[in-house]
Amino acid sequence: MTSPNLDSEEEEIEILIEELEDDSDDFFKSTDHKKQDLDIKETNISDSYETIELVETQSEEIQEDEILKITSSQEIEEIIFDYNTTSKNKDRTKIIDKIATFLPNNVLEELLKEIAFQDSYTLCRAKAVSLLGDKADTPEIKRLLIQKLDDSSPKVRLWTVWSLRTIVYDPEVYEALIKKIKYFEKSKRVNLWIIRSLSDQIDDKTIQDTFIHLLKQKPDNETRKLLLFYLLQKSNDEDMATELSFYMLKEVNREIRKEIVKKLVLLDFEDVRYSLEKLYKKERDEEIKDLIYPTS
């Protein structure tokens, strides 16, 4: 009997082991793939649920938006109806306050334009103008507000100036304000607001010349103080400083004259020094004289 070929058997065993290991690897790989497939399916299911929830949420939001639009539309119709059927002034002002909560809205803006020109009650027109001021930078509203500078009520004109202040840089606007304050406006309060509004463009030579012109018209003390407050900000310019020094010699109010002197003594312009010397000779107020030539 021949002995078994151990080498041959060992080789077979090795081959079997390798095949077994290969089968085992394939099994585990297959199992891993199945697990991965299962994970993917679970993920897909989860994603599907999330997608469904998102779609449902979006659908609910769209429905809510539609409901709000319908509700808002109904409320706007009610507002317009209430305004057109209300004769009491105070009730109309309350309606205008309610309009403010729905802006911006094209339909209500058209109503505000109508109110600004046609409502007989001053406060209603003033409120309409102030609300329209939020769109003062649009050509149509700008032109409307410029027209309202001629409203019969100073209160409405005041709110019109306030509304235009945000676009005072617009040449059409500041030219209208200049024309108004130089030739037509009689209300001191409105004029003060025009000055404040125009002061935002004090670097503009046209505005400076306008303020000088107004100063020479000898307005009341409050107006002169306000004009000088802005003009003195430009006193580092020699031409402006000279103009103010000439005006200083004519100013009758001690406090106003004193404020001009306090600013001009800091400057080193020949014409300004000449005016200060001239003022010193005729000035009776010792405090002002001491500002020009300090004694100590």
Domain coordinates in residue numbering, the chain: 235-296
What whole-number percentage of the chain has pLDDT above 70? Answer: 76
Residue 267 has pLDDT above 70, yes or no: yes
Q: What average pLDDT does the structure give for the chain?
A: 85
Answer with the residue of higher pLDDT: 54 or 294: 294
Residue 10 has pLDDT above 90, yes or no: no
Answer with the residue of higher pLDDT: 271 or 64: 271
pLDDT value at residue 41: 53
Q: pTM (2 decimals)?
A: 0.75
pLDDT value at residue 72: 81
Please compute the mean of the pLDDT values over residues 123-134 and round it to a whole number.
96
pLDDT value at residue 264: 97
Instruction: List pLDDT tens digits, range 207-250.
Output: 999 999 999 999 999 999 999 999 999 999 999 999 999 999 99
pLDDT value at residue 6: 43
Distances 176 to 1, 140, 170, 255 between C-alpha atoms, Å: 131, 15, 10, 32
Instruction: List pLDDT tens digits, range 171-215.
Output: 999 999 999 999 999 999 999 999 999 999 999 999 999 999 999
Please compute the mean of the pLDDT values over residues 7-30 and round it to a whole number.
52
pLDDT value at residue 36: 57
Instruction: List pLDDT tens digits, range 35-72.
Output: 555 555 555 555 555 655 555 555 555 555 554 455 58
